[in-house]
Homo-oligomer: A and B are copies of this chain.
Amino acid sequence: MARKRFENFCCSTAQTLDQIGDWWSLLIVRDLFSGARSFTALADNLGVARNILTDRLKRLLEHGVIEKAPPRNEDERFAYRLTEKGRDLLPVMIALMQWGDKWVRGAGCEPLVVVDARDGKPVRPMRVRAWDDRELGLAEIRALPGPGADADAEGQAPLPAQA
């Protein structure tokens, strides 16, 4: 059988991956965060085949992550732009980027530092926080089914401490 789709997985993570988890979508989102707007700019930046880019843009449009906006200059016919849903991926992108900068940055690879535009200081590392702002580690959190959840779904084990 071919690739398995995650649409029917009863898990936010899986569903999310089904919308933005493929190889190119997240990089497209990243480029949109970085200011790319036109089809050609994206194609050139990413080095992706045009038909693949078309497909990914279509999916992102369908999922409401991006939208088409009027062009800003004569060089482009219109501009791709992140929707609110897309902009809401900012924490994900920053968390990924910070993890990458910390753990996987390889030889000759630029560490991209995300800074506060006001003072130029780097943004804080992303942390999981409780309501009293205390930082929470893996051992201090649990995953519970929210309201309306299926009690005996397969996600029973609530994030136990690993150590």
Copies in the complex: 2
B126 touches A114 (CB 8 A): no
**Considering the complex, which residues of chain A in the window 84-115 have a beta carbon less than 8 Å from any beta carbon of chain B?**
85, 87-106, 108-115
Chain A contributes a number of interface residues (CB within 8 A of B) equal to: 100
30 cross-chain CB contacts under 8 A:
A10-B109, A11-B109, A12-B98, A12-B105, A12-B112, A15-B106, A17-B27, A19-B104, A34-B143, A34-B157, A35-B157, A35-B162, A36-B157, A63-B104, A87-B137, A88-B102, A89-B99, A92-B95, A92-B99, A110-B146, A110-B150, A111-B147, A112-B145, A115-B142, A115-B143, A116-B136, A116-B140, A117-B139, A117-B140, A119-B130
